[in-house]
Structure 1
């Protein structure tokens, strides 16, 4: 399984769909899988259960997805905060789509479906997550200033260089 990680706005879903199509495997968006499993939106989960409740649900769903069939899986920006998820990534190909905070915020704007945008300490949150992304990643691809197709080409090239390609 190829797992895409990175901050919100890195393009994990967009790149993931394109990459999955190129590799001939399904694409799975972890956030969509969580909403399907829970029967409610992520903002509704945050509202009812708070971030800790959401993170518990997220970790359970993602661990299940990681045990599933071959796919390109896009994780939410905060998923790697869970030690059980980081542990479950063992044996999977993890690709960090590295985006600067400036580019990430320009991409997501004021998206009401992203509860973490309301975090007043967003720069600190961004900085804190970078270490987890880098520790988990086998491959890092900078996405700033690149079109999704360019990012996909770079990911495929890096997967080939790493000896874990198609």
Structure 2
């Protein structure tokens, strides 16, 4: 038996920008004995430049291709990890379940606006126009729900959301292993 097959299953967090994927993901990793991987940071590291620059110079289609490639790599090579995806990854990667148990951190758009201050919105390529961002949110919501094994209300504190995720994972088929 190889080392990867003995590692606990991955937890894949999906949701819109500002839903808490990175914050909750780090807590989940710590609480479950897993590593934490931010899919956007992985792409930035591989490309040697920030995502806004990739969007500006190469366009969204190129970035989505990078997301798809990174998802293939994660499905083959990553185990025992909590993965925070970019908000658009579920749009281009239909088989997220090949990477691990998919958890949708659901948060109303109004709460997302509260969490992402106006100054920070400028650094997010698809959040420059609030009306456009809300349309994206509405479109993606259906995709997130379709891709997720579990949906969790992310409006509580990050600590409470992480505990809820761990509890739900423990209840659903014993897929969660404590580290």
Alignment partner of 1:124 out of 110, 122, 135: 135
Structure number with bigger Rg = 2
What's 1:73 paired with?
83
What's 1:45 paired with?
54
What's 1:109 paired with?
117
Give the 4+ runs in structure 1 shifted more than 4 A.
none
Distance (whole Å) between structure 1 residues aligned to residue 148 and residue 176 of structure 2: 15
User: TM-score, with normalisation over the residues of structure 1?
Assistant: 0.93
User: TM-score, with normalisation over the residues of structure 2?
Assistant: 0.86
Distance (whole Å) between structure 2 residues aligned to residue 140 and residue 68 of structure 1: 25
Alignment partner of 2:18 out of 2, 6, 9: 9
Aligned CA RMSD, in angstroms, stands at 1.3
Q: Which aligned pairs between 1:1-166 and structure 2 lie closer than 5 A?
A: 1-70=10-79, 71-82=81-92, 85-90=93-98, 92-110=100-118, 111=120, 112-119=122-129, 120-144=131-155, 146-163=156-173, 164-166=175-177
The answer to whether the Cα contact below 8 Å between 1:10 and 1:104 also exists between their aligned partners in 2 is yes
Number of residue equivalences: 163
Structure 2: 5+ residue runs without aligned partners?
Answer: 1-9
Distance (whole Å) between structure 1 residues aligned to residue 13 and residue 53 of structure 2: 24
Q: Deviations over 1:100-128 (max 9, x none)?
A: 10111111123133111014422211010
The worse-fitting range, judged by mean Cα deviation, of 103-112 and 37-46 is: 103-112
Distance (whole Å) between structure 2 residues aligned to residue 67 and residue 107 of structure 1: 34
Structure 1: 5+ residue runs without aligned partners?
Answer: none
